[in-house]
Chain A
Amino acid sequence: MFEDNLFDKAFNLFSRVQQQDFEYVYRGYFTHNITKKILTLADLNIQKAVPFSTIQKRIYYIMVEGIQNITRHQDEIFTGNEEYPGIFAIQKQKDRYYVTTGNLVLNEKIPILKDKIKQINSLEKDELKKFHKDILRSGVISDKGGAGLGLIEMARKSDNKLVSSFELINENYSYFYLQTQIPTTKTSSLDGDVEELKLRKSLISIKKLHLSLIIENILLYFNGFFNQENLLSLLSIIKGRLNISITTIRLSNVMVEMIQNIIKHGAKGEDDNGAPGIFFIQQREKGDFALTSGNYIPEKDANVLQEKIDNVNSLSKDELGEYYDKILLDLDSVTSKKSGLGLPDLRIKSGQKLTYNFHKLEEDLYFYILQTTVTNKKS
């Protein structure tokens, strides 16, 4: 009936990042427009989560530097290496944010990068400031504005050491992971071995996640709170990522329905940020796409929902059309935000049965995973 394997993976991905309290992960090519949207999306969430505007600004600044670090060398490296796109992740924990980037670098550049980071980490606050000035003054800046200025700025703004890691891909390239942490409370100073260990642990979790995203060929991955603002940013990111065709228009339509499904029906978090959940798009053979969403729902809703999906799945094409029309014209639900059209709409657009799974998490709470397929059609 459904691919157990993928459901397990979705659930595992979700539970793992839940433990790590992820905010947001993007994997793929970074265009100007996508970068803008990623920053908007991240900024919206940070503004809600962090009370101090100086810290918001710092996080934003570090995100910009981090993404520029990826894009600066992206083009010369990306060509021929399309299967190894970069990753950008923001993780929120109780009293800090982690900003992590991962991108391809030439193996021959690794020693220089390592030296730069080691040097930056060895300097105290005042020394870093001086170092920054010295570089600016001496004018020893590479044609791409490199010279480690971005790295120095990230270390300065975060007021913490940079953590890096390299993962060998082949004889020419490696992944370069760079992580920065920013405390979100004004008093907390993050020194000592324990902090170093936490940081390492968080970096390892992102590397593992990145690896599964690559193996599963996942184009877009979002884990965090779902609300209308986030949906619009994600929609814009996916539009920027794919060429327009029958298939990708439908993909966008299906994506809107699935995410609004989470927004409207998913169990909400404690604050008003939206419903926590996961959404990802996997590209499959022949250009097909699989879209997967996961969110929490109360037990009573789970039973009703399962009946609805089974019903929608049991209908023939003609019956499905009649069913859709009936709900479309249903006057009782005209004023409700919950139109009831989401599931039949998904079933019609994907042309296939909807697959789903419910994981019982605790008394009265389920994790609901829904998957739809969009088949590639030649335009």
Chain B
Amino acid sequence: MEPLILQATEDTPEIVFDPDQNTFKISKISVPEDAYEFYYPIIQWIKDYSKNPLDQTSVEFDLEYVNSASAKQLIQLLLALEDLGRENNVTIKWYYEAIDEDMQMLGKRFKNLADIDFEFIEI
């Protein structure tokens, strides 16, 4: 499957979804005005990938800022991963800075809403 690689912009995150490299990472800043427009193709990619996934998919979230509009799309992304996880092995690595309570809180919220394994990593 073709990898999905997007460079970070001032308000959207870097996306590296590359099954060949076994890398699935979303990082930096996510504060776009239109989060749906940005995340729709990413969620679609995950759904396509789910048709023929690796045995083990570990998705890293290493975000600095997330606006509420992005949170709404991220939960959809996580729910797509939850679907994938029904018959495959899926884990989420949620990175947060020690002083960033809000990011930690958001990760916990997602963990409660999506039935996937979460690993919290303080950086």
Contact = CB atoms under 8 A, between A and B. Distances in A.
B31 to A, nearest CB: 5
Contacts of A341: 68-69, 71-72
Given A228-B11, A264-B33, A249 B99 contact: yes
B101 interface: yes
Interface in A285-305: none
The 7 A-B pairs with the shortest beta carbon distances in the complex, nearest first, are: A341-B68, A345-B68, A339-B69, A339-B72, A228-B33, A379-B99, A246-B99
A334 B80 CA distance: 14
B102 A257 contact: no
Given A245-B99, A325-B113, A334 B36 contact: yes
Interface residues of B, number: 26
Nearest to B97: A249
Nearest to A263: B33
A339 B68 contact: yes
A329 B109 CA distance: 12
Interface string B71-110: 1110110000000000000000000011111100000010
B2 interface: no
B56 interface: no
Interface in A76-105: none
Interface of B: 10-11, 31-36, 65, 67-69, 71-73, 75-76, 97-102, 109, 112-113
Contact of A337 (B11, B33, B98): B33
A253 interface: yes
22 contacts: A249-B97, A250-B101, A253-B102, A256-B31, A257-B67, A257-B68, A263-B33, A321-B109, A324-B109, A327-B72, A328-B72, A328-B113, A334-B36, A334-B73, A335-B36, A336-B36, A337-B69, A339-B71, A341-B68, A341-B69, A345-B68, A377-B101
B72 A256 contact: no
Nearest to A246: B99
A232 B72 contact: no
Contact of A250 (B31, B67, B71, B102): B102
Contacts of B33: 228, 260, 263-264, 337
B80 to A, nearest CB: 12
Contact-residue bracket for chain A: 20 to 34
Interface of A: 228, 231-232, 235, 244-246, 249-250, 252-253, 256-257, 260, 263-264, 321, 324-325, 327-329, 333-337, 339, 341-342, 345, 349, 377, 379
Contact of B71 (A245, A328, A335, A379): A328
A327 B109 CA distance: 13
A244 B99 CA distance: 9
Contacts of B67: 253, 256-257, 260
Contacts of A246: 99-101
A198 to B, nearest CB: 37
Contacts of B68: 257, 339, 341-342, 345
Given A228-B11, A256-B31, A256-B65, A249 B72 contact: no
Contacts of A256: 31, 65, 67
A236 B28 CA distance: 14
B69 A249 contact: no
A244 B64 CA distance: 12
